[in-house]
Copies of this chain bind each other. A is one copy, B any other.
């Protein structure tokens, strides 16, 4: 059994739903805490002291000295019923890459596990890295609530501290991640940029009523406006060569025999540049408002988070591509690397995804490609550290 497979199998059962085969690893909930315990054990086994940054992020440090460190790593948390690779592959690969380096590296290397990258629990993706980078107000973050009403401060056990001097000790950050869109025809590629993307909430308000007795003409049914907007968002994204998804919806009262009072839908939109993204969201909103007038409903749009276009450090990207003789590609997915790239030179390594499926139990990479990813990361860390 390869060292990758051996380590991978330790994590595999943690938080896996036996019915879907997908993962339910939410920040600071038992499954994700078990992953953190595993992280601490891996660090201990390598004599790497673990630092908690006051924002829920962990970093295991290897090598002494005061010189700037090379940081690598990723996250443990998943989307609901997500795949095994998105996040954990970057952490497992980091520890194994260290094992393949000479015992005495030239400089310090840190392995990070960032908190709440998916935003599945508190609604803000890259929560941990945003706090660390100082782009999310700690007081605002502390008050975020999950679906059961628990605040982030309660989950974390404290108000997060926000920006610390940790990043000042880092010379560069390289995140290894499974690729997510059938964009690689070789085992490993180098990430060049992240499309600008964001989440918008659309509240469709109507009039709750009885499904059996209310005449169709008397209804103000917000589900109709929602449904129209779902189709409009898809069409607008296709027309523009962008991405739009409405994969989450909450309905009140969500009863079979009641016209809803409120339908709340979320729009995930991404495009190659900021202007195109803004135009896409405006087009979807305009069509929702037009339809609402027809349905007698009301629609309000709330921007929940927007991440501008990220271009990774061109010097670092070029150096990685050269070291690995690998191709360079952008991605539509947000990552902690995208947040940190504004503060330290950052790049990503992508491991091939043969089906392009991710955020799903079917998410997959071959063991051979994962091994190639570890080798690539080891070469990169060896050069940079």
Contact = CB atoms under 8 A, between A and B. Distances in A.
Interface of A: 20, 22, 79-82, 86, 118-120, 123, 125, 179-183, 195, 197, 199, 207-216, 218, 221, 223-224, 226-228, 230-231, 234, 237-238, 243, 245-249, 251-261, 266, 268, 270, 331-334, 356-362
A247 B237 contact: no
Nearest to A257: B268
25 contacts: A80-B252, A80-B254, A81-B261, A119-B257, A179-B213, A181-B210, A181-B215, A197-B212, A199-B256, A210-B332, A212-B268, A212-B332, A212-B334, A213-B358, A214-B356, A214-B357, A215-B243, A215-B356, A216-B234, A216-B238, A223-B246, A248-B254, A249-B249, A253-B359, A256-B266
Nearest to A24: B253
Question: How often does this chain occur in the complex, in copies?
Answer: 2
B257 A209 contact: no
B197 A216 contact: no
Given A181-B213, A227-B228, A259-B245, A207 B254 contact: no
> Which A-B residue pairs are the 6 nearest by beta carbons?
A208-B360, A80-B253, A180-B213, A211-B245, A181-B213, A227-B230
A79 B256 CA distance: 9
Given A223-B247, A227-B226, A361-B208, A356 B213 contact: yes
B80 A255 contact: yes
Contact of A257 (B183, B247, B356): B247
Contact of A231 (B199, B224, B237, B360): B224
Given A211-B245, A247-B253, 16 more contacts: A79-B253, A79-B257, A123-B256, A209-B359, A209-B360, A210-B357, A210-B360, A211-B247, A212-B333, A224-B231, A226-B227, A227-B230, A245-B257, A247-B254, A247-B256, A258-B360
